[in-house]
Structure 1
Amino acid sequence: MTAVELVSGGTQNILLAFTLDGHRRVLRRPPVNKRPESDQVARREARIVTALGSTDVPHPRLLASCAGTDVLGAAFHVAEYVDGFSLWGPVPEPWSSDPSWVQMAGLDTVDAFAALARVDPEAFGLGDFVRPGPWAARQPDRWLRQLSSYDELDGGTDEAERLPGAAAAHAWLVANIPSTERLGLLHGDAHLGNVLVRRDGTGVVLVDWELATVGDPLLDLAQLLATWPVEGSPYFERVQVAGLPDVEEVVARWATASGRPIDDLAWYRVLAAYRLAVLLEGTHARARAGLVPLSTGRTLHQRACGLLAAVTYNPWSADVGL
């Protein structure tokens, strides 16, 4: 093994790139300060990526996985290395100067998530991921419990102080639960930071599958919209290149490519903002407990507050009615 390089490492996962037998690979494992569920999440992620190998969803091909913890102290897997970049990072030529290339990358991104929305979990051995009962109806309280669980980390911070706007979002979600749902496989963390644009110009690859599950794929579209760098979004400053499709084009493209109705998209946009804000606030709670750098926690806390503020006030999501 040669040319070992830390690709990323911190609060969520550690990624190490290395060369073995002339081929570049990536090892993915939980962080050093593991959460109680970290190993189980890693095993689940490896199982989902294995299933994706038989689909047309663009993703890094899984090469090996280890469910035990005796080798590295954590479950892990090894996947092919993708020579790509995120539109949230430094952007090379021709993307940096040609908006048409950026537009193509944006549309490829939407198509990739739409391809995932077409995957039937039952057909690819993931049927046991489906829990009995309505999925959408469980979501508001599921994420409220997640938010409340941070009491164990940060000493019982008052919920209103912890995440302003969360209570209002939760109440709206409970009062407006969709009457229908169509389950499928969803990524669970859909944003441009989890999309690699191949440097050879042959498309994009979806990465970071730790939150993938069975649910309504409208949530992936909604989170993509919540994090899409439009004016008013807390992610607006992340992309410094012109050419990305606008929100209306993203929605129309996904609806056509996925073949799914979007009647309940407003509800899922609120859920996406609420859910993502709760997840980001988890790192803030871990930071307050001394488990991750405080500066990281504060940055993600500000982003979480921005997500909920955007849902409540900004024109691009005013249709949710909060």
Structure 2
Amino acid sequence: MAAQTELSINLAGIERWLVDNGILQGSGLNSLQQLAGGTQNIVLRFSNNGRDYVLRHPPAKPRPNSNKLLEREIRLLRALAGSAVPHPAVVGACLDQNVIGGVFYVMEAIDGFNPTVAMGTVAAASPDVRHRMGLDMVDGLVALANVDPIASGLADFGKLEGFLERQVIRWASELESYARFEGWSGPQALGDVGAVGQWLTDNLPPDMQPGIIHGDYHIGNCIFAEDGALNAIVDWEMATLGDPLVDLGRLLVSWPVGGEVKPQTMRVEPIDGFATRAELIARYAKGSGRDMRHLPWFEVLACYKLGLILEGTHARSQAGLADVATGERLHRSAIALLDEARAIIARG
């Protein structure tokens, strides 16, 4: 049987449940490797009977909604089964918190590389492969936008009515909540955040074509094959129903422009050869058939939302609840994102 780990996961209980439910054989959770964890979820890769799997489990100090978020992620991944969206398949999921004290699930392991960790060998040597990576990311978004939420059993997965209208209120409230962290320097360094929110309110797109959104779509949440093909989109815990252009806006604001690395740009090396923003937009427009006239609004929203989220870590770090260096780094990114939002607005 598997032993307890330093991550305070009841691996013995997890293994017992997986074996009892016929998901694994009784040879144990072997070759354990932590892929991520500690803040959002704990993610472990392991092998059993010659196959590799990945376990997702709430963090050692779960948030009040950690189990609920995992339940939603499990439901979403199961709904995507058989679709054209590259995603890891759920092998088994335990929603009964009485088993080990929380929700957990096991999915198939996806081979490939995450370029924010290390670029694949072929991709590192080939600008053409890196170019394909960006285009494949857009194709993955198009495939997701084309999934019918009702037909896939996700009609109640999010509140569509007033989705766009709620965004400014939701994230402005998040920023205001940081006042509870003693020592936070406040939002002054972010510039006139209220003006950005007001622009979003005043320029709200008149309608939307609803669909499933990933919620945090960037290159760090993608796994690629050596030839640049998108093998899987991962980390679905923020998925909901809304306007899929939210995901495209999120991708664009973190995408390097002409090889330029900005504070909010995802860190990948080398970055030359990646598709341009114009190519990404054209690819999405052609594949999805969606109206792109209001795309700048979604880019501003992405900057606004992400900037305010990142400032939360800065506020917590100033209160002694998060790493100071990380807080300062994310604070710089938040400033850059709000500056970018104002630049998009100024360009009209």
Q: TM-score, normalised by structure 1?
A: 0.91
Query: Could you tell which deviates more after superposition, 167-176 or 199-208?
Result: 199-208
Following superposition, the deviation at residue 304 of structure 1 comes to: 1.8
Change (3 A) 1:31 1:164: farther
Q: Output the CA distance in 1 between the equivalents of 2:221 and 2:262.
A: 17
Is the contact made by 1:83 and 1:199 (CA closer than 8 Å) also made in structure 2? no
| Superposed displacement of residue 160, structure 1 | 2.3
Distance 2:219 2:160 in 1: 32
Paired amino acid for 2:220: G
The structural deviation recorded for 1:112 is 0.4
The one-letter amino acid of 1:240's match is E
Whole-angstrom distance in 2 between the partners of 1:166 and 1:232: 24
Q: 1:247 maps to which residue?
A: 277
Q: What is the deviation of 1:203?
A: 3.3
Partner secondary structure for residue 44 of structure 2: strand
The answer to whether the Cα contact below 8 Å between 1:14 and 1:31 also exists between their aligned partners in 2 is yes
**In the TM superposition, what whole-angstrom CA distance separates every residue of 1:32-90 from its partner, at most 9, and x where no partner exists?**
22222222111111111111113110011111122233344432221111112122232
Aligned to 1:198: 225
Change (3 A) 1:167 1:74: farther
Q: Which residue identity is paired with 1:287?
A: S
Provide Cα deviations, 1:142-201, integer angstroms capped at 9, x if missing partner.
Answer: 11122223334x138464237444322212111111111111001110111011112365
Distance 1:288 1:27, change over 3 A: farther
The equivalent residue for 2:88 is: 60
* Deviates most, 187-196 or 61-70: 61-70
Matched AA of 2:164 = A
Q: Is 1:186 equivalent to 2:213 in the alignment?
A: yes
Contact 1:234/1:310 (<8 A) preserved: no
Residues of 2 paired with 1:182 and 1:159: CA distance?
37
Superposed displacement of residue 134, structure 1: 2.4
Question: Given residue 252 of structure 2, which amino acid in structure 1 is its aligned partner?
Answer: L
Distance change >3 Å, CA 200–CA 263, structure 1 → 2: closer
Distance verdict in 2 for CA 1:263–1:237, change over 3 Å: closer
Aligned to 1:167: 194
- What percentage of residue pairs aligned between the two structures are identical? 41
TM-score by length of 2: 0.84
Q: Which residue of structure 2 aligns with residue 10 of structure 1?
A: 38
Match in the other structure for 2:16: none
Q: What residue in structure 2 maps to residue 107 of structure 1?
A: 135
CA contact (8 A) 2:81 2:89 kept: yes
RMSD, aligned α-carbons: 2.1
The whole-number CA distance in structure 1 between the counterparts of 2:165 and 2:345 is: 22
Alignment of 1:252-291 (within 5 A): 252-291=282-321
Unaligned runs of 5+ in 2: 1-28
Tell me the equivalent position of 2:64.
36
Q: How far did 1:108 drift? A: 0.8
1:297 to 302, 327, 345: 327
What amino acid does structure 1 have at the position aligned with 2:62? K
Question: Hey, what's the Cα distance between the residues in 1 that align with 2:163 and 2:266?
Answer: 34
Cα distance per residue 1:6-37 (max 9 Å; x no partner): 11123222111111222111111222222222
C-alpha distance in 2 between matches for 1:72 and 1:299: 36
Which SS does the other structure have where 1:309 is aligned?
helix
Q: Please state whether the residue corresponding to 1:26 is helix, strand or coil.
A: strand
Pick which of 224-233 and 14-23 moved more.
224-233
Tell me the distance in 2 between the aligned counterparts of 1:225 and 1:202: 19
Flag the structure with larger Rg: 2
Distance 2:310 2:100 in 1: 27
Determine if the alignment matches structure 1 residue 80 to structure 2 residue 104: no
1:46 maps to 2:74: yes
Is contact 1:66-1:75 (8 Å) kept? yes
The correspondence for 1:215, drawn from 242, 248, 267, is 242
Tell me: CA distance 1:166–1:11, structure 2 relative to 1, closer, same or farther (3 Å).
Answer: farther
Point out where structure 1 has 5 or more consecutive residues left out of the alignment.
none
Aligned to 2:168: 140
Query: What is the SS of the residue equivalent to 2:212?
Result: strand
Cα 1:289–1:14 change in 2 (3 A) is farther
